[in-house]
Amino acid sequence: MWGGDEAGHRFGSAVGQEVIALRQGDGAEPDPDVAIPDYIYSAAHGRHRVDPLNPGQGFLGARYGYVRPFAISSFHPLAKYPAIGSAAYAAHHTQVYTKGAAATSAVVDRTTLETLVGIYWAYDGVKEIGTPPRLYNQIVRSIAVAKGLSTEQNARLFLLINIAMGDAGILAWFYKYLYDLWRPIIGIREYDPSMGPAATAGAFALDPLCDPFWRPLGAPKTNVIDERIRSFTPPFPAYPSGHATFGAASFHAARLYLASISKGTLNADGTDDFAFQLVSDELNGKSIDPDDTVRARHVRSFAGLHEAMFENSISRVFLGVHWRFDGTTGTDPLSMLAATDNIGGVPLGLAIATNIFGLANLRPSPATVKPPPFDATP
């Protein structure tokens, strides 16, 4: 016996098969006839390399930025991160050095709430948790239930947010490997020119922004019962943040659609009133740390999706796996929404959602929608 509505199940399966057929040859699988540059990590100062605490992790999704987009009508350009050595970069560097340090570090300056925020939003692909798009679907579903959406409205809503996230993954991963920026685990340990594979002879003193022994709190290894297993830095470059891009794309697509059907308000300043409460599966009273400790259950409340968008982005700083500008240069939800610098995953995700929602009809992206040349100088 089928669970639930058998007709709905069969219809959904048929739609799924059509989508699979539509995506054949989209570039997700390597094609020997298509010239896409292979990723070779660089020894240069500022470039991404494998997490030294997890040396076998490799480089995930290096070619994914060349997958054919789902629905966007143009490939949104993304500005470069603040220059290494600039005052803006130094401020973000200093923040993650203290806010994202391992709990045992002498330099850690992270509150209990900040640690909780980092773990609440983690969803780093571990057992029984899944990846960030699952969390964002959970959040939008809670709002859809509270708003009493019809079947048709739900179908449209979840189509929009998941198509937006599909294109968010493609664009974010293109720019990750284009800009090839180191993550904090390398950027803090090797900031001084005397450190790393491209080192030059150093002076007596290290640059104060360099700590060769720094460790991040790391993305949590939830539901893996082995205290020897370290938390980790994800295996791909830092900029832009996938969390920030996925979150902004899905939440903004939801805001645009729900406001269009009079289920809430999207204000001129970018704030909204799509309030929700949610128990993250990272903190549901069942998930466990590697030392077999059950985490407490936590209910988190948000006045609007703009608040969730910001907290989701900066949560990665508190784990020590991202610079804040990977998501946004804003210091709060309002400055995030007001930012005009086009730096980070939040503006990239917002642009993707706006583009898709503004299309007269959702159709597959035309063949002319391609990424900019890969040989741009990072």
Q: Are 287 and 267 in contact (CB under 8 A)?
A: no
Residue with token string 């500022």 = 46
DSSP type of residue 121: T
CA–CA dist 183, 52 (Å, integer) = 11
Two structure tokens written together for 308: 């969730």
Q: How far is CA 239 from CA 9, 81, 343, 364, in A?
A: 39, 7, 9, 27
Q: Are 215 and 53 in contact (CB under 8 A)?
A: yes
- For the CA atoms of 39, 221, 187, 209, the dihedral, rounded to the nearest 10 degrees, stands at 180
Q: Within its chain, how far is the Cα of 64 from the centroid?
A: 15
Nearest partner of 101 among 181, 184, 224, 45, judged by Cα: 184
Catalytic annotation, residues: 243
Residue with token string 């029984």 = 128
Q: What are phi and psi of 100, to 5 degrees?
A: -110, 10
Q: How many Cα atoms are found within 13 Å in the side-chain-facing hemisphere of 140?
A: 31
Q: Are 135 and 161 in contact (CB under 8 A)?
A: no
Q: How far is CA 231 from CA 51, 133, 218, 256, 280, in A?
A: 11, 21, 5, 36, 19
Q: Are 309 and 251 in contact (CB under 8 A)?
A: yes
**Which amino acid is residue 18, in one-letter code?**
E
Burial of 167 (0-12, 13-18, 19+ CB in 10 A): buried
What are residue 301's DSSP bridge partners?
277
CA–CA dist 127, 129 (Å, integer) = 5
